[in-house]
Amino acid sequence: MLTFAENDKGVLVDLYIPRHCSATNRLITAKDHASIQIQIADVDADGKAIKGQSTTIAICGRIRAQGDSDDSINRIATKEGREC
């Protein structure tokens, strides 16, 4: 049985929206309890966080189990023009 919710406009929407791993683009399932999602604040030229702006990175449990999450986060941040 599928469960749906209704938004304020009366449109039926799903209760669960799956995430994708930022490193492998694999689907992160609801049973992947080893997965993480972090938000990195965007900063201005002075190094201060810009309010309301951040970059979200999701890493699946498989990458974490391999010990590659730190390398993956650095690679993703570098690709997006950020320094770690």
What pLDDT score was predicted for residue 39?
92
The pLDDT tens digits for 21-66 are 999 999 999 899 999 999 988 888 898 999 999 989 999 999 999 9
pTM of the shown model: 0.75
What pLDDT score was predicted for residue 83?
66
What pLDDT score was predicted for residue 2?
58
pLDDT band at 17 (very low <50, low <70, confident <90, very high): confident
**Is residue 1 scored above 90 in pLDDT?**
no
SS (H, E, C) the chain: CCCEEECCCCCEEECCCCEECCCCCCEECCCCCCCEEEEEEEECCCCCEEEEEEEEEEECHHHHHHCCHHHHHHHHHHHCCCCC
